[in-house]
Chains A and B, each alone.
Chain A
């Protein structure tokens, strides 16, 4: 059963990635746009570079990128490329491949998204559990309404308002960028502190926008657990309230929240991409915004596919750690 479940899960996620890759491959081919031609038109417009044998150059590029072959063969080659981790070349920074660009942008995104998701998950669940806990002070319950409002607002907008109030009006923090101008990235303490200062506003906007989701979910769970027999029993046994709260209350309410974590990856990454674009950070979001601006199609497709692939893998990982958290769940038959 355990093996059967895992196999089914893997097959499902493969189906998800395959469908996504197929969509990513076919949609652009359905339109009449030619990325290479547009790229050269762009160059001609901005630099005045317009050689006479432009058509031949374009044709040569199409051969190089395999765009002259039959569609079905291209599809098979693209898919096998995806399997090997080859997402194609970048049009604007040609010798570099899409994968190289993604890998160089990835650390920024991972640090930002991991930290904010972790903080938001812990803080949100704590607030939500406290809000449903009968003994907690009143102001915690009052926090729920503002958190619900914040959750309604996209992180991008919160980021924009934070830039206005904190960076523009109060001049407390930088308005954007990953590090101060004129500083070269290095692994010195000075640089890390500078970079961290630039990450504060993006992080706050991501945390504020997602806090409500965890808090409200946890509060709902907490309310249903309140009436359970084992909580009453623990109270009558005279256990310390803190023990009941952590061992009986939070521990049980947390499980569905972990499932929620797997479902939230998609929206976390999407809002992360938008916020990075807003603050001009060099992560995946910045890369995507840049690629859209410069019509670098292969980078756009590559990032999309990469993100979907990582979501599938993360969902699978959550599946794997779930039985560790909940001893009642075992993917075994009896």
Chain B
């Protein structure tokens, strides 16, 4: 019976399900092909589990700060990752440090991408003087290495009052130029597409077109810009904190490396102290890059063909 219906002019919903595998199956099949996205997400999930389980089982409020445990202990059953010169349990430091580093990255990424999306839209959609001003500012600011300006900003602030949130804000100050440029280019190509013209002709308002027609099509790019923003935010905060400009009271990963360097940890044979934070950061950076490569493949079918 159903087979006869399939030849008929109007197949019902049941028939379509036979031909199209479910969304879940399709996602699964896609993920099996997009290995870098899966691997990157797997690392991020593993790190998240590490911090969540860690902060539930260990007293990080106390053990991640100085004078909590016996100092300078190599990794052992009691201290799986060892302890540092100041008497911090490095396992607790890592649990808290990875979390704080992620918070800085997420805030900086969100602010940078948010501002970038808004400015990119304004610039591309309205054009004219708005476009000229926004473009001129971005073009002039882009060649200046943001990191050096951040060094000056972080250096001018009273170091004792720096928290991870001020750190995140400092880092996001110069994180919007890249996203602005990418978003502007994307909106420029999208707004000339047929469906936008159709929407305009059918009487949609500007805001409606932006939110209902253009924005949904930009999601993969916004997501990719966000992931790069998180990467850049963590990168910049890491650079600042290894120069000693971070929130020194907090067990941020970069700070831990800075303290280890200040105490010449390798020369003194405390190799475990700088090693764990370095490995954690390598994992963070590699996973974000893998996710970005995966997203690129998702958003750009042209990259897929060359593989």
Contacts and interface: CB of A to CB of B under 8 A. Distances in A.
Interface of A: 12, 15-16, 19-20, 23-24, 27-28, 30-33, 148-149, 151-154, 156-157, 160-161, 163-164, 167-169, 175, 223, 263, 266-267, 269-270, 274, 277-278, 288-289, 292-293, 297, 300-301, 303-304, 307-308, 311-312, 315
B282 interface: yes
Contacts of A278: 242, 261
B140 A19 contact: yes
A266 B285 contact: no
Contacts of B144: 16, 19-20, 23, 266, 308, 311
Given A149-B289, A270-B239, A292 B151 contact: yes
A129 to B, nearest CB: 15
B303 to A, nearest CB: 9
Contacts of A32: 158
A300 B152 contact: yes
Nearest to A266: B145
Which of B155, B271, B285, B289 has the most A CB atoms < 10 Å from its CB?
A: B155
Nearest to A167: B266
Contact of B267 (A161, A175, A223): A175
Contact of A311 (B143, B152, B278): B143
Contacts of B242: 156, 274, 277-278
Contacts of A274: 239, 242-243
B275 A164 contact: yes
A169 B149 CA distance: 37
A148 B293 contact: yes
B274 A19 contact: no
B257 interface: yes
B299 to A, nearest CB: 16
Given A19-B144, A167-B266, 15 more contacts: A12-B139, A27-B152, A28-B155, A31-B156, A151-B289, A153-B282, A154-B239, A156-B238, A161-B282, A163-B266, A274-B242, A297-B155, A304-B148, A304-B149, A308-B144
Given A157-B278, A175-B266, A304-B149, A33 B288 contact: no
B interface majority secondary structure: helix
A297 B261 CA distance: 22
Contacts, number: 122
A168 B149 contact: no
A257 B145 CA distance: 20
Contacts of A277: 242-243
Interface of B: 139-141, 143-145, 147-149, 151-153, 155-158, 235, 238-239, 242-245, 257, 261, 266-267, 271, 274-275, 278-279, 281-282, 285-286, 288-289, 293, 306
A19 to B, nearest CB: 5
B156 A160 contact: no
Contact of B306 (A24, A168, A223, A312): A223
A28 B239 contact: no
19 contacts: A19-B141, A20-B144, A31-B158, A148-B289, A154-B235, A156-B238, A156-B242, A161-B282, A164-B266, A167-B266, A168-B266, A266-B145, A277-B243, A288-B243, A292-B155, A292-B244, A304-B149, A311-B143, A315-B143
Contacts of B257: 160
A175 B261 CA distance: 12
Given A164-B274, A175-B267, A270-B239, A300 B143 contact: no
Contacts of B278: 157, 160-161, 164
Nearest to B269: A168
B201 to A, nearest CB: 37
A28 B151 CA distance: 11
A31 to B, nearest CB: 4
Nearest to A150: B286
A33 B156 contact: yes
A277 B239 CA distance: 11
